[in-house]
Structure 1
Amino acid sequence: MTMRSETKAHPQGVLSFPEFWRWLKGHAGCILSVATPDAALYDNEEMHWQLGEEDGSAVIQLLHGKNLVGEIVIAHQYIDYVQVDPDGEDEFVFDCISNTDGDCVSAYSFTLAHAYVPDVRPMPSRLVH
């Protein structure tokens, strides 16, 4: 997986990391890969993703049964925003951008099977007991 390293302005298709993380936790089964500049985890039919938090960091684990295959920990305070690639066809890329010394760098990259669509929770029309 190629990590992007380029300077970008904040165009449309930008999410805050907390907003992206909240949404991603409801779509863990849609993750195809998670990457850093140094490592990548890829989905497989026999594996599943587990997302959580530990000591204020976001934790992404890839498991085979109950065995941990790999783990990526994101110290989200260093993520300035998440850039959503609107041009996906079968894969949709979400780059977690960190502004380091004036350069915007993709510190983490998520590839999902579908685009970002904010979850809409229907409001009940009346209370039911």
Structure 2
Amino acid sequence: MKNSLSFKEFWPWLTEHPNCILRAGTADSVVYDDDDYYWCFSEEDARTLLVQVMRGKRPVAELFIEPEHITFVQITPGEKGEYNFDLVTEMQGQPQVIYYFVLTHAFEESERNGQGSHGRLH
């Protein structure tokens, strides 16, 4: 398993695993998954990605992510088989987590047998 990856590698993989997200948030907020919720991913505009947690047709929470500010995604094992994906930026030369996602499994690259680099559920 990789310890870090680019946001360009992470985002498409994340959007293919919405049912694996346990929680997501920022330094001052957290949204927990629930049986009544589902996760939606879209582009707000050319520079902003949107993660919405929905209950029916109503948004419960939203995260606006600007990929240009994300330096890399740090992957660390969490508690009880969870995996933390920290979206890190550089502020005054220091890494700082600006968003995070906790999933039920790790990022795994498929073998490069003509399929390219693509995460898969294991």
Unaligned ranges ≥5, structure 2:
116-122
Q: Give the corresponding residue for 2:86.
A: 95
State the distance in 2 between where 1:35 and 1:91 align: 15
Q: Give the corresponding residue for 1:3.
A: none
Output the amino acid matched with 2:37: M
Q: TM-score, normalised by structure 1?
A: 0.79
Aligned residue pair count? 113
Q: Give the corresponding residue for 1:71.
A: 62
Contact 1:88 1:115 in 2 (8 A): no
SS at match of 2:81: coil
Contact 1:57 1:76 in 2 (8 A): yes
State the distance in 1 between where 2:34 and 2:51 align: 15
Pair member with larger Rg: 1
Output the amino acid matched with 2:31: L
More strand per residue: 1 or 2? 2
Percent of aligned positions that are identical? 35
Q: Report the RMSD for the aligned CA atoms in angstroms.
A: 2.1
Output the amino acid matched with 2:95: C
Q: Give the corresponding residue for 1:26.
A: 16
Cα displacement (A) at 1:76? 1.0
1:1-129 to 2 correspondences below 5 Å = 13-55=3-45, 56-86=47-77, 89-118=80-109
Unaligned ranges ≥5, structure 1:
1-11, 125-129
State the distance in 2 between where 1:19 and 1:34 align: 18
